[in-house]
Structure 1
Amino acid sequence: MKKEKNFRGWIRFMLTGLLIMVLAFAGCSKGTDQTATAGNSDQGQTAQSTTIKIVDTNGNAKTVDLKSLTQFKGTATFKKSTGALVGPAEISGPKLSDVFKAAGIELAPSDAFEFVASDGYTMTLDYMQATGNIMTYQEDGKNGTVRQLDAIVGITCSDPEVGEGMPRLCYVGQDNPISDGHLWVKMVDTINIKAGVADWMIKLSGYEEKTIDRATYESAASCTETPHPVQTIEIPKSNGGADVYEGLGLWMMVAVVDGGEKVDGHYSVNRDIVRSGYTVQVITKDGKILEYTSQDVSYNEKIILAYKKNTSILGDGEAPLVLIDAQNADKAPIIMKQVEQVKLLNLPKISQ
């Protein structure tokens, strides 16, 4: 009986440890951390599945055999949220544009492209990203510049880590370009063509300054491996029904700039300073401000920054993010649209 109690205690300890882990915004991206299902060997990587379903804006679906298309070959490296570079590797597969052509889809600048992985992870790209016009980096992983790359759906790769989870969206060139790993969606199963989405960035400031773009935020929010998944809050409509908002807890944004430790790309709230009662300001595009104390925000899943409404990326008038505060069950939720900044004020000094 004593051994059984010790074993149960150990299990509780492990579960408690798991619950304090939180998702990093790009670190939990499937571009870098998604569990692979493709074949693996010391010689490289080859996709087990070589078909993708393309669904147009009318809901019509067509399955495309990637092997049947012209194979394009290039080299590439991707950058993890930790700053580590993975690659270089030689990758081959059809160009993304050829995949769409095979499905009878003509790309238009007004389109958006929702990539759905076989494990349910999603990432929405705009026209520029889908056509390979993305941020790239120098050999040290710094000093990014936008340039044109070839977007391909990789099905073979010379390096197991770069090619993990094929078929995989890859950005290649002939000179080993370096790009953000969160765009390298793994285990691509379906691509849904949707109405266009605008790209955006939100500013975070605390002990340091950070910016989070739409793709990074969506990558974090749709990660299937985090112990703190995306939250949903329903807002009743006056004429019946409800709007469903999805997003991450405000506390997760706070954790990015509150001086807490980051291990392997995972953030957690800096509990050492929460009791100081610092101020968390949420600021909208037109300058409206809502304030909370650090104690109000810490690990509070009832205050979220939504990036989706009724399963679609927020549109004009609500984007980039909508703050939904539903912590008071006796009152209607607080709704604040077009959130662009989160600031931490009156932070205590941290000894060096």
Structure 2
Amino acid sequence: MITRRETTALVLVIGLVSLGTVGVLILTGGPTGGDTTTTTDVPPDPNARVMVSVGNTTESYNFTQLKGMDSVTGWGGYKKTTGTIVGPYTYTGVPMLSLLSSVGTVPAGYSLEVRSRDGYTTYLSRAQVEGRFEGYTPDGEDAGTINCTLLLAYYEDNAPLESGGPLRIVTMNEDGNLTDGRLWAKDVINITLIDEVEPWQLELHGIDTWNMTHDEYYSAASCAHHNREIAVGNITYSGVALWTIVAAMDCADDVHFQFNDTLATEGYDVVVFDGNGKNVTISSASMAYNYSIILAGWVNQELLTSPDWPLALVTPAGVLISNIVSMQMVLY
């Protein structure tokens, strides 16, 4: 079997004596989505460490301590938002439930906050921690709910992680089924058990109409490329520029949040609604590429809570509207 860490090269030298020529054919192979750049192991970072918090107890584990815990090995792979499939490869690590239980008692209701070194933040439900995910077949087709083992992985193909390490979130499935790539947090440094996060959706009514799920928002808004902060007095709000979310419904490249400049120049309004039907209107002219108008999901590095939950529209002047549930484009 060819792994991500192997390159197989077959060189056929064919002597064509009658023609006095030599032909060389090089065939290289590797798994779909893998790379063929490495033949040696990368030593683990001796300073790799993860902080795990359950209730009032926090423990710090380094690479060596994690390797000393009970581990599992199995197949894992994911599907990117672009449709690209990565894996499946074999991963080794500590099952998440075992890791949490080593710190404290896991309550009946909870969510899991996973934070990467660059600030990227993933939220996993209790069902996901226990192994129930919406998944895909190995060729990327919808598979419905699949059973997985959620893992804090430190090995890929029996060697320290080259991509996304030294520690990353992995879902293992014995049938080689896949999960969403946005759940596979890289370079994990903090794992925190928090109060249960109620799932929510942001209704987007524009040229494209669809519902952005809470994990899609948190994934985009915590990404280092998109994340923006605004200070209002001694309070810091964090989220994503309003125009970035509008880019998900303006008929440009929704996957990469590419903003539709032509449409913005022609002009339209974005009407932002809260859960009670109140609204605020922002013009495309004032919104386009303006990082001073953000759709915030965090305040002082904590998720928004009621009555502002789940989202607030914030400028340096203050909160314009909160408890946001939908947005609508109104063309001129």
TM-score under structure 1 normalisation? 0.74
Contact 2:79 2:179 in 1 (8 A): yes
Contact 1:132 1:149 in 2 (8 A): yes
CA distance in 2, matches of 1:280, 1:44: 51
Contact 1:260 1:270 in 2 (8 A): yes
CA distance in 1, matches of 2:313, 2:183: 26
CA drift at 1:102: 2.4
SS at match of 2:75: strand
Counting only pairs closer than 5 Å after superposition, residues 164-183 of structure 1 correspond to structure 2 as 164-166=163-165, 167-183=167-183
CA distance in 2, matches of 1:216, 1:125: 12
Q: Which residue of 2 aligns with 1:30?
A: none
CA distance in 2, matches of 1:142, 1:44: 33
CA distance in 1, matches of 2:195, 2:91: 30
CA drift at 1:192: 2.5
Q: 1:325 to 1:122 in 2, by over 3 A?
A: same
Q: 1:316 to 1:146 in 2, by over 3 A?
A: farther
Q: 1:43 to 1:129 in 2, by over 3 A?
A: farther
SS at match of 2:199: coil
Contact 2:313 2:320 in 1 (8 A): yes
Contact 1:282 1:290 in 2 (8 A): yes
CA drift at 1:163: 6.2
Contact 1:93 1:153 in 2 (8 A): yes
CA distance in 1, matches of 2:83, 2:136: 11
Say yes or no: does 1:255 pair with 2:247: yes
Write out per-residue CA displacement over residues 142-201 of structure 1, whole angstroms, 9 at most, x where no aligned residue: 4352333110111212399x9622321111111012101111111122222333322222
Write out per-residue CA displacement over residues 197-246 of structure 1, whole angstroms, 9 at most, x where no aligned residue: 2222212232222332222222222223x2x5322231x5xxxxx43221
SS at match of 2:100: helix
Say yes or no: does 1:343 pair with 2:304: no
Q: Which residue of 1 aligns with 2:279?
A: 289
Contact 1:45 1:159 in 2 (8 A): no
Q: Which AA in structure 1 matches 2:194? A: K
CA distance in 2, matches of 1:294, 1:54: 43
CA drift at 1:69: 1.5
CA distance in 2, matches of 1:46, 1:129: 31
Q: Which AA in structure 1 matches 2:223? A: C
Q: Which AA in structure 2 matches 1:220? A: A
Q: 1:140 to 1:279 in 2, by over 3 A?
A: farther
Q: Which AA in structure 2 matches 1:41? A: T
SS at match of 1:252: helix
Q: Which residue of 2 aligns with 1:243?
A: 235
Q: 1:274 to 1:119 in 2, by over 3 A?
A: closer
Q: Which residue of 1 aligns with 2:106?
A: 107
Q: 1:109 to 1:133 in 2, by over 3 A?
A: farther
CA distance in 1, matches of 2:43, 2:169: 14
Q: Which residue of 2 aligns with 1:217?
A: 217
Contact 2:230 2:292 in 1 (8 A): no
Q: Which AA in structure 2 matches 1:124? A: Y
Q: Which residue of 1 aligns with 2:77?
A: 77
Contact 1:44 1:157 in 2 (8 A): no
Tell me whether 281-290 or 171-180 shows the greater mean CA deviation. Answer: 281-290
Name structure 2 gaps, 5 residues minimum. Answer: 1-36
CA distance in 1, matches of 2:43, 2:149: 20
Highest Rg: 1 or 2?
2
Tell me whether 42-51 or 173-182 shows the greater mean CA deviation. Answer: 42-51
Say yes or no: does 1:55 pair with 2:40: no
Contact 1:47 1:156 in 2 (8 A): no
Contact 2:247 2:253 in 1 (8 A): no
CA distance in 2, matches of 1:190, 1:302: 29
Q: Which residue of 1 aligns with 2:300?
A: 310
CA distance in 2, matches of 1:144, 1:291: 40
Counting only pairs closer than 5 Å after superposition, residues 115-126 of structure 1 correspond to structure 2 as 115-126=114-125
Write out per-residue CA displacement over residues 255-310 of structure 1, whole angstroms, 9 at most, x where no aligned residue: 11212246xx5323211111211221212222222222211211122221110112
Contact 1:231 1:249 in 2 (8 A): no
Q: Which AA in structure 1 matches 2:294? A: I
Write out per-residue CA displacement over residues 119-161 of structure 1, whole angstroms, 9 at most, x where no aligned residue: 443333332233322221234534352333110111212399x
Contact 1:108 1:127 in 2 (8 A): no
Tell me whether 215-224 or 93-102 shows the greater mean CA deviation. Answer: 215-224
Q: Which AA in structure 1 matches 2:105? A: E
Name structure 1 gaps, 5 residues minimum. Answer: 1-39, 237-241, 327-331, 348-352
CA drift at 1:55: 2.6
TM-score under structure 2 normalisation? 0.78
Q: 1:208 to 1:159 in 2, by over 3 A?
A: farther
